[in-house]
Amino acid sequence: MGRVVEAGRRAPEQAPPNEFSVMDAKPIVTYAGDKTLFSSLEALLVQRIPQEATEWKRSYGRPVKSVFTEAEFSPFDRSQLPKEGDWHLIGLPIFHTYWTECVDVDIYKTSVREDIDLWLKTLQKFGIDDWLIVQVETYDIKRSNKLLPRTTVLDKIRSDFASKHPDRCISVINPIRSESKSAETWRGLLSRIRVLLLQAYDTTLVRFEETIRKQRERRIEPGWSFCKYFLLQEELAFVLEMLGLFEEALVQYDELDALFTQFVLNYSVGETPNWLGSFQGPLESWPGLQLTHKVNQEQRLLIQDSQASLLQFRSYLFARQSAMLLLTLQPWEIAKRTLPFLHNCIAELRILEVTCPPGSVACWVFLGCLEVLRTCEQFNDSTQVQKYSRFTASLWAYASDKLKELGELCGLLPGMQPTSEQLHLVVGLSAGMGDVPLSDEPTPTDQLKEALSSNEAFKKHYLEFAELAMGTFKHINRVRLARVIGRDLAAFHQRLGDYQTASLFLDAALRMLEVEGWRSLAVETRQELVVCYRHTDDKEKYVKTCASLACSHELDVERRMYYLNQMVEVLSSITTGLPLVTQFSEAFELLSVEVKTDKQKLVVGGIVEIVVELQSLLPRSMPLKQAALSLEKISKMEPPSETADKKHSNSSSSLPQTEEPLFLKRSCLINKSPNNPLLSRISMSQCLDYQQDQSLKAAWATCRDSRYFLRRADSQGNHRNITTSLQTDFSLCASTDNNMLEPGKNTLVLQAKVTEPGKFQFGQMSIKLCEGHLEFLSNVLHCGVGFEVTSEPPTVSLQALTSDLLAGIDQEVTLIVNTGSHWIKKDSKLILRPTEGLQAQLTDDDECLLSKLEVALPETGPFQTTQYPLRVLARLGSQKDNSVLEHKVDIDCPWSVEAQPAVLQFHPPFCTSLRLHTSHRRKFAQVLVTGLTKSFLQVTKPELRLEGDCSSVRLLPLNPTAGQPLMIRQGFNIVLLWELEVAKQEEEETGDSPIQAVFTMFYLPVTDSHSQERLYQCSFDINDYRTLIIESAKVEPSKGSEFCRASTMCHLHLTVERVSESVRSSLMYEVLVDQTMWAVCGRTTGVVTLDESHKQTIQLDVMPLISGYLPVPHVRLSRYIPADQKPLGKAASLHPRREPFSPGQVFNNSKALQVHVLPSAPPGESGGP
Amino acid sequence: MAVCIAVIGKENSPKYVACLHSENELQFHYKVHTALDVVEEKLSLAGKSNCDVRELYLGLLHSTEEHKIFGYVTNTKIKFIVIVEAANTTLRDNEVRTMFRRLHAAYTDVVCNPFYIPGDHIVSKKFENVVKSIMSGNS
């Protein structure tokens, strides 16, 4: 041990005597022989040996290290040579040199050889093989020129002493005499010294390690002491440290650490070596860690004497480890090791059942943390702040924790007054920490002593440490840990009475806990928070937090009731006019919303009923002041643009397009958790892709909103949304007042009066309690539930009862009044104004038909339809065909300015037509009554009269006057006939003037017994009622033939007879034949003039083409007007014209006459007579 | 062996927390909660360095005088936290790994239950039994 004390003495002056630095120690090399020579070279050697690194090759295949060796020279002293078992390696000479200047072999033989021999023998006696003999020569130019050198002194020395180790003898040229020549030999010497020096260490250490191993193996022997062993192995670490191999030195310490830990652990299972007893003594002092490069000699002595306490030993070991870490420039590693180290020490104290005075360990831990932190700060590098902080943060936290523990112990917390016992304790703790040498900065020990000195100082220090810890945690993003310290700080501030600050810390913690869904912790925090609010008199927050707590099922009912009562109590003292708004979800869960009112009844001005189911989390029933659900009007949206579909138009993909109409659900269950896409139905749809030629290119199934289904499923689930909801517009809302809210499920019926049409969806839910002072406001629901309020105008229409309305007969139509979404007030009237010819009356009314009808409407609710049966009658005029009569009815409504038109179509029940028939000169007027109805009509008293002055014409009825009744219907017609007797004309000129005939009859629907007979009247004009010409045609066979034969020429005899004088002009005839039957030979047309003669006959040649009964060729007669006949010429008059006769003016006698034509004669007969 | 076992969801909300002794359960809640800081840190570091992603065991997250907190994270970012007593010196890393593996297997069974909605709190007798047996040390 004395050796080390010596080493300590060699430490720099300024260091305290109880410390020494291993770094300052150097390998000791002895010198012997020519001392004057050596002293001239010593300075040079000391300076130049450390300049180059040497590779240290070690035995056992250990990795080669590059080592810078230093050396310290001391004269060879036999007494300083290491003895067996003395392993204080850093103080012992390790390498031995002999120096001689002798160049003369004779002188060598006489004196030097003996001296070397003695020196080597001494070394061998101590078993030392690490030596070097250096012969220093002066450069001799003469000698170097000699061709054959004689045997030199070096050769002699070699042969005498170093025949086995030729490298242990070296000759150098004295650099002081001739520097230039010596450099090479000198460099050789230096490297030789370095190599041999390290070799010496290697052999020594190999031996030493062997010793250590042996020692370790004896650890279970009774007399073995860990302290001795520790010091032994530490020597190895010292050497390694001295050689700059800090990592290896650290390995030695770590090994020792592990060994000791294992001993302690073994103690817990019952193994108790004697030496361990020295660590189990009661703790008497707890000085803090001191981290320096240097070895604390005082502590080392204590260990040697087995007097060190566990903490002292541990502190020493940790300090040495830290020193190595600092030397390897890894200060953060210290911080990293600190916490496990401290925890381990505490565990060891517990295992070894060391009696510790209260607070002592806390003091020690606190000092340890601070010392490490201080050291880290000293070696802080801005690039490694992050790296440090990860470890320092928890050290800050640990330190502040321990300080708090001490504060509690010593009565230093705010609001505490230290008792005399506690003061004693402080004194005792301070004494246990010991004193530290004064320095410029306050040491951890000073800080702790100061902190324990008074409440005020304690507060200052505690807040400083805690805030540092919190800040560092925040800096490295360990927010949760920062919040936990925040809670501690909050508790401290509460003690200080600073509830404002405390609430800030707690609020931050609460927010994070809520976001992450840690309900039980959140409730805990809230309970603390509520205390703060009470003290800060923040009534609003107090009430809100109370409300939330009252609804927390994590708490027992009594506490919840307490908070609820608090809430009500404090609420009543708040005097602001506005209600206090808080989160709906704190106290209620909305379960479902449903629109109860029928769709039809959702009209403007109507009342909507909405049923809301909600779960009240309040612990008891509460009177509900008002519950309201806001309604948002949905503005009409633009239809989505088509651009998205354009992309697909080329491939004509038939993706089903679903336009999403703004569809409002009428009810919905409100889920607290968001819809889980894993559990919803996937909407798949078919997709077909066609090529341009319409052939199928591909078919596939696709999920249209795959994004929704494939998005990452959040496994969070039950978070509460912390979004603060702003109050939306409640001007439109459904509400109910003054109910009771029971705990658990409640069903509320809300009502709203809607004043405008449109789509409404539900927005926010609001519940007002406590006389409306407290309002729970939910988030916006966004569930697409709502209703549509319609505004439908009333409609009025006329509808025929049967499919076809008949004119001229009483018909029934219905006036349909649909009120739409409106109310019809009392004393409203509808005025029907039909067009001319149509009359109407209410069926119930026996009054006569009116052309302007007023209908009184009763008071009616919305969406009601009222029907009023009406009788209508359309006037039936002269009906000559079945054209439909259309009538328009303008309806004046009380609710609109414009009249509403209604159109009615009436079909005629029958139509009448008149035809004139001719038979030679006689004329017959035939009236046809065509039935058009489906049911029978009876016709009576048909009559045809002539109108006006027409003496020349008379009508003679040819109809039976009695017999079966005349009935008409569709398909049942009546034909009536009158002969028109025309008097022989006296005045030829007037004969042509048309006469007017009026047909009248009465008709009566057979099925309808009530209706009376109605008169039908129809007038006709009768023209050309005189026969002018009678023509007849006849086909005769040509002369000599008996019969007409096909392909044989025949004669057509045409006779034209004039029966009226009025025909004066020429007549043109045209033979119109069917060309498949007849061929006209010669002219087919011609002109005849009937000047004087009344009758004229024309013969034409015609040939039948086929046989059979052929119709006689038709001859058409028309008036012929020559070209120059009319002087008032127009363009047309230049050509001759023909003018047809009206039917009835020409009577064709041979109409429908046929002639029998035989087949053509056989050839033989043709030439016959 | 363990004094507290917790399953934490993807978004760091508790899905299951069981403590051996119920008296200071909240303290364990806090411990589990703060351990998440380290879990997140480790996960973000693992993401950066792109090291072995198959290693689910996160090792020791945090230690206090009384407790050691270990972490494990599944591929779906479900975290398992196990708190053991620091005084229990016989507990080796390998045993902690075994606990997590058993816990993971039990959790997988819970998720495989078609009636379990992922993200919900775990209510399962079977799972509870596994957790209890881990806590009591009967493996």
Domain tally, chain B: 1
**pLDDT band at residue B48 using 50, 70 and 90 as cut-offs:** low
Q: What's the rounded Cα separation, in Å, for the pair B5 and B80?
A: 7
Do A1049 and A923 reside in the same domain of the chain?
Answer: no
Tokens, residue A1071:
């033979």
CATH of the domain at A968: 2.60.40.1230
- By the CB < 8 Å criterion, does A477 face chain B? yes
Q: How many contacts does A have with B, using Cβ atoms within 8 A?
A: 93
Indicate yes or no: CB of B64 within 8 angstroms of CB of A343: yes
3-class SS at A290? coil
Q: Which of B11, B40, B63 sits opposite A716 (nearest CB)?
A: B11
Among the candidates A906, A929, A953, a domain finishes at: A906
- Positive or negative, the CA dihedral A1124, A1126, A1129, A1133 is negative
Cβ A319 vs Cβ A290: under 8 Å: yes
Nearest to B26 by CA among A923, A523, A624, A855: A523
Which pLDDT belongs to residue B72?
92
Nearest to A567 by CA among A613, A523, A533: A533
Does the pLDDT at position B106 exceed 90?
yes
**Residues A1035-1074 pLDDT 10s:** 888 777 778 888 888 888 888 888 777 666 678 888 888 8
Element (H, E) at A953: strand A953-957
Cβ A1085 vs Cβ A1069: under 8 Å: yes
Indicate yes or no: CB of B119 within 8 angstroms of CB of A673: yes
Indicate yes or no: CB of B63 within 8 angstroms of CB of A716: no
Indicate yes or no: CB of B11 within 8 angstroms of CB of A719: yes
A716 to chain B, closest Cα gap in Å: 5
**Residues A561-571 pLDDT 10s:** 888 888 888 87
Do A188 and A244 reside in the same domain of the chain?
Answer: no
CA A309 to chain centre: 64
Does the pLDDT at position A168 exceed 70?
yes
Maximal CA-CA distance, chain A? 207
Average pLDDT, whole number, for chain A?
A: 78
Indicate yes or no: CB of B37 within 8 angstroms of CB of A390: no
Do A784 and A896 reside in the same domain of the chain?
Answer: no
The predicted model gives A144-159 an average pLDDT of 68
Which pLDDT belongs to residue B51?
59
Do A626 and A745 reside in the same domain of the chain?
Answer: yes
**Residue where the block lists tokens 């029958």:** A910
CA A409 to chain centre: 55
Residues of B with CB under 8 A from a CB of A: 9-14, 25-26, 29-30, 33-34, 36-38, 40-41, 62-65, 76-78, 86-87, 89, 117-121
**pLDDT band at residue A1008 using 50, 70 and 90 as cut-offs:** low
Which pLDDT belongs to residue A148?
52
The predicted model gives A485-496 an average pLDDT of 88
**pLDDT band at residue B107 using 50, 70 and 90 as cut-offs:** very high
Tell me phi and psi for residue A437, to 5 degrees: -60, 145
Q: Is residue A1129 part of a domain?
A: no
Q: Is residue A4 part of a domain?
A: no
Cβ A807 vs Cβ A835: under 8 Å: no
Q: Which residues of A touch B40 (CB under 8 A)?
A: 477
Q: Which residues of A touch B119 (CB under 8 A)?
A: 673, 676, 713-718
Do A956 and A1051 reside in the same domain of the chain?
Answer: no
Do A242 and A194 reside in the same domain of the chain?
Answer: no
**pLDDT band at residue A658 using 50, 70 and 90 as cut-offs:** very low
More confident residue, A1097 or A1167: A1097
Vertex B94: Cα angle to B92 and B97 (nearest 5): 120
**For chain A, percent of residues with pLDDT exceeding 90:** 0
Indicate yes or no: CB of A518 within 8 angstroms of CB of B10: no
Among the candidates A770, A790, A810, a domain finishes at: A790
Residues spanned by the domain of B31: 2-136
> How many other β-carbons are positioned within 10 Å of the β-carbon of residue A433?
23
The predicted model gives A411-438 an average pLDDT of 82
More confident residue, A770 or A309: A309
Which pLDDT belongs to residue A713?
46
Vertex A122: Cα angle to A116 and A128 (nearest 5): 100
Q: Which residues pair with A939 in a beta bridge?
A: A966, A1003
More confident residue, A523 or A680: A523
Q: Which of A268, A481, A717 sits opposite B119 (nearest CB)?
A: A717
Does the pLDDT at position B121 exceed 70?
yes
Does the pLDDT at position A12 exceed 50?
no
CA B108 to chain centre: 14
More confident residue, A109 or B52: A109
The predicted model gives B57-77 an average pLDDT of 87
**Residues A154-167 pLDDT 10s:** 788 888 877 777 77
**Tally of CA atoms within 13 A in the half-sphere of B51 that contains its CB:** 9
Do A164 and A237 reside in the same domain of the chain?
Answer: no
More confident residue, A1150 or A676: A1150
Residues spanned by the domain of A929: 910-983+993-1022
**pLDDT band at residue A665 using 50, 70 and 90 as cut-offs:** low
Domain tally, chain A: 6
Do A44 and A90 reside in the same domain of the chain?
Answer: yes
**For chain B, percent of residues with pLDDT exceeding 90:** 19
**pLDDT band at residue A779 using 50, 70 and 90 as cut-offs:** confident
More confident residue, A416 or A722: A416
Q: Is residue A9 part of a domain?
A: no
More confident residue, A506 or A986: A506
A476 to chain B, closest Cα gap in Å: 9
A347 to chain B, closest Cα gap in Å: 7
ipTM above 0.85, yes or no: yes
Q: Which of B9, B40, B41 sits opposite A716 (nearest CB)?
A: B9
Lowest-pLDDT range, A110-124, A351-365, A1061-1075?
A1061-1075
Tokens, residue A837:
């010819």
Which pLDDT belongs to residue A652?
39
**pLDDT band at residue B108 using 50, 70 and 90 as cut-offs:** very high
Which pLDDT belongs to residue A424?
86
Indicate yes or no: CB of A715 within 8 angstroms of CB of B119: yes
Closest Cα in chain B to A676 = B117
Do A800 and A783 reside in the same domain of the chain?
Answer: no
Tokens, residue A196:
């041999």
Which pLDDT belongs to residue A646?
38
Q: Which residues of A touch B13 (CB under 8 A)?
A: 516-518, 716-719
**For chain A, percent of residues with pLDDT exceeding 70:** 84
Indicate yes or no: CB of A476 within 8 angstroms of CB of B11: no
Indicate yes or no: CB of B118 within 8 angstroms of CB of A346: no
Which pLDDT belongs to residue A989?
47
**pLDDT band at residue A19 using 50, 70 and 90 as cut-offs:** confident
Nearest to A733 by CA among A631, A658, A812: A631
Ranges assigned E (strand) in A674-755? 684-690, 696-703, 733-741, 744-753
Do A837 and A955 reside in the same domain of the chain?
Answer: no
Q: Which residues of A touch B38 (CB under 8 A)?
A: 478
**Residues A553-562 pLDDT 10s:** 888 888 888 8
CATH of the domain at B38: 3.30.450.70
Q: Which residues of A touch B122 (CB under 8 A)?
A: none
Lowest-pLDDT range, A101-105, A437-441, A707-711, B102-106?
A707-711
Which pLDDT belongs to residue A680?
63
Which pLDDT belongs to residue B70?
92
Do A934 and A1064 reside in the same domain of the chain?
Answer: no
Q: Is residue A260 part of a domain?
A: yes
- By the CB < 8 Å criterion, does A479 face chain B? yes
Vertex B62: Cα angle to B58 and B66 (nearest 5): 130
Among the candidates A874, A906, A938, a domain finishes at: A906
Indicate yes or no: CB of A717 within 8 angstroms of CB of B117: yes
Q: What's the rounded Cα separation, in Å, for the pair B125 and A192?
A: 78
Which pLDDT belongs to residue A297?
79
**pLDDT band at residue A720 using 50, 70 and 90 as cut-offs:** very low
pTM of the model: 0.65
Which pLDDT belongs to residue A600?
62
Closest Cα in chain A to B86 = A347
Does the pLDDT at position A697 exceed 80?
yes
Closest Cα in chain B to A480 = B34
More confident residue, A8 or B3: B3
Q: What's the rounded Cα separation, in Å, for the pair A858 and A864?
A: 11
- By the CB < 8 Å criterion, does A264 face chain B? no
Between β-strands A72-75 and A28-33, what pairing exists: parallel, antiparallel or unpaired?
parallel
Order of all β-strands in the sheet with A1050-1058: A1078-1081, A1095-1104, A1050-1058, A1029-1037, A1146-1148
Contacts of A561 (CB under 8 A, 6+ apart): A550, A619, A620
Tokens, residue A197:
């020096």
Max mean pLDDT among A40-49, A193-202, A919-928, B74-83 falls in B74-83
Q: What's the rounded Cα separation, in Å, for the pair A553 and A555?
A: 5
Q: Is residue A383 part of a domain?
A: yes
Q: Which residues of A touch B33 (CB under 8 A)?
A: 480, 484, 513, 516, 518, 521
Do A267 and A122 reside in the same domain of the chain?
Answer: no
**Residues A808-856 pLDDT 10s:** 888 888 888 887 777 777 777 888 888 888 888 877 777 777 778 888 8
Cβ A848 vs Cβ A872: under 8 Å: no
**pLDDT band at residue A1164 using 50, 70 and 90 as cut-offs:** low
Does the pLDDT at position A34 exceed 90?
no
Q: Which of A481, A524, A716 sits opposite B34 (nearest CB)?
A: A481
Nearest to A95 by CA among A79, A113, A114, A76: A76
Whole-number Cα distances in Å, A861 to A330, A527, A599, A820, A821: 91, 58, 15, 9, 8
Which pLDDT belongs to residue B7?
92
3-class SS at A623? strand
End-to-end Cα, chain A, rounded Å = 186
Which pLDDT belongs to residue A385?
72
Q: What's the rounded Cα separation, in Å, for the pair A572 and A1009?
A: 85
Which pLDDT belongs to residue A7?
37
Which pLDDT belongs to residue A1?
35
Lowest-pLDDT range, A519-533, A694-708, A870-884?
A694-708
Cβ A1113 vs Cβ A1072: under 8 Å: yes
For helices A557-573 and A539-550, give the axis angle rounded to 10 degrees. 150
Q: Which residues of A touch B86 (CB under 8 A)?
A: 343, 347
Which of A345, A364, A400, A480 is the mutation pick for testing B, counting most B CBs within 10 A? Answer: A480
B53 to chain A, closest Cα gap in Å: 20
Lowest-pLDDT range, A329-343, A844-858, A1023-1037, A1114-1128?
A1114-1128
Which pLDDT belongs to residue A644?
37
Vertex A45: Cα angle to A40 and A46 (nearest 5): 110
Q: Is residue A706 part of a domain?
A: no
